Structure formats: C-alpha cells, structure tokens
Structure 1
C-alpha cells in the first residue's frame, strides 16, 4: 500500500512516517519499477505499535531497543513509569512553589528573586527538576547557522564586487579573463554551497517528529 493509505489507516502523518523511516524504525520495501515505497500489513502493524508507545511519550531510542530486542517491553515500561513518576513529582513541587508565591502575595516589582532562587537550588539538590531555561527551541537552533551563512555570503559577495571593481577601474592592468572568471566563480560556488548547507540544516531541524498530542 502507498503512504497516503497508511496515513489514513494508522492516523499518523506522512511526515512522521518518513521520520520513523529515517530513524530506522520502519523499513518499507521499494517498488522496483517506480521506486515508490510499498508498505505491507506488517509495516502498518509496526506503525500502530510505534504510535502507541509514542503516545505514552516513550523515547524513539527506547522504541528502537525494544524493536531490536535489546530491551524488553516490560523493562522499558517499568523504566518509563519511573520517569513519569519523577516528572509528576516535579510538577507537584512546582505547583506547591507557585502556591507559596501566591500565599506570600509576591509582587513582581518587589519580589526578592534571589531568595526564591536559593530555595529552588536547595530543592534541586534534593531531586526536584525545574524548567531548564537554557533549552533551545527550533528557532534558536537555526539562528546560529543562519547568522554564519549570512556573514559568509556577504563576505563572498564583497570579494566578487572588489574583484569586478578593480577590473573596471584599471583597464591597462587588467588580469587575463580566465583568471577573472576563476576568482569570480569560486566565491559564487561557495555561496551556493553555503545556502545549500543552510537549507539542509533547516530541513534537519524542521524534519523532526511532529507533536504527537496535536498530530495524532
């Protein structure tokens, strides 16, 4: 069957189906005549299992270990249940912390943030995990490559412009045309390479698994 039919029957987006293929969880056969992926009933059943485990928030790596037999289903579920219990405890601790701030009638303008940060640090030493403010979202991951690409492209354009400008203002001492072509083409090739790598990086960041809660 084709991917559109699999998407309908399993209720998983085509993007996620391809993502699971990239992660090695799914390996459909390819039609020798047209090169299209052909999904079997076994692939469909496997996707249903993956969907179930992902809806339980079990990590991709854990599912891979289960599928290959490196980890039993029971051990994975037990380990994941412990992880969920810890997350639940963290949420409860954060709820209590919020209630404490409410009870203390804390105002933003007069809040002694250092005092509460010290309390948080003490709680973290005892095992509570608060939100990691250093976590980066997709836009942040793409920002650095974008800046570097813009700088590199600008630098290459400056080189090309400088070469052409020098060629135009001094007709008597112009270098041979093959040399001019080489020093002009090389920066252009570099610009194309930079833009291609930037696009590839964007696709890598964008191509991750879609949110299971909203897409399933």
Structure 2
C-alpha cells in the first residue's frame, strides 16, 4: 500500500490496493518546488533546458507530487527511457505523468502498467478531431462535435499511449474507442491494436468543475 498523500490535492484516489492517482493544482513558485526536491546533475541539466515558465513548473510539480505520493524524504530517481516513458529504476513501480496549464497529475502502479492524461478543455479540438479519431468513432452520437466527448476520446487515447509506453502506436489507426455514455464521470472501452495482438482496455475519465478532462488506464 502507498502512504496517504500529505500535500493538498484536488483529487486523490486509491484505484486499488496497488494503484494510486493524484491531481494537484500548481500554486507554488519555482523556488518552492525546487526546495522540495533533491536533484542530481542530470536533472539539473533537464531543468536548465526548460528555461522558466509553465514547462519548468510542470516538470517540477510532477516530481514533487510523485515524491509526496511515495511518502519519502529519500532521493527519487525518475528517468525517461528511450521511448520517452518515465520510470523509477530504483523502485520498479509503473508511473505515468501528465500536466496541463495549472494542473499536474501522477498515477503510480505497484504491479500494473498505468497511463494518465489531463487536458484543459478548449474549442480548438474540433479542428483536429479527424487526426486522432476515425470516421466510425466520429459518427458516434456522444462524440461528433461534442467538445467534452472529443476530449474524453483524446484523454483516453493519450492515457493508453502512455500505458503502452512504446513508440509506433497511432491514435487513429491503432486505438478504437467503443460507443460509451458521455457523463461528467464515467468509463469506456477501447480496442487497442498492439504488435502482440489486440487488447481491450477500460479507461476511466472525469471532468473537473473548472473545465479540465482527465483519463486514466490501469492494466
């Protein structure tokens, strides 16, 4: 079991006894976030490449949230593999990180692969819907031109992409969202075409009161 989160978060859920999800609204400064971390040279190099602003706040906040969820004062080595997937070489847990504007989200799986995506809901998603959804998916009544439905699909596919953790998986070609009931909080089933064969995954999603959509998958 993971320890209870001590820091203030807007959402905290123990999905099962080995998996935890947390969402944090970023209100701290870069200096406050930096003071909560122990960083080694390879991480300082990453920080220097991000400059200032949201990218740096996002990087720092996901690491602080990860550390808080693991409830440790020890150094946590969070690295990226050759596919860009974050991992913890000293712990072996599965993790996924996401951020959008004022929010950061982390999901940790002790035994199962995980993926999470959070997005600020914007109207411009309508202009790119054909890039990540097939005509069959777009014909579903809960998707079409419904902005919330489009974001549910986007977050679901992004979470699955992160869950898979390997390059080459294409949203439109390889991930099919089955018809679902559009709610403020719900779940859907996706059929994923993987090199080892097709797999069905269940994606949970919810919309926040201030206009963000989040999707996550465990499997």
**Interval containing the TM-score (normalised by the shorter chain):** under 0.3
Query: How does the TM-score come out when normalised to structure 1?
Result: 0.20
Higher relative contact order (CA 8 A, sep 6+): 1
Query: How does the TM-score come out when normalised to structure 2?
Result: 0.19
**Larger CA Rg, structure 1 vs 2:** 1
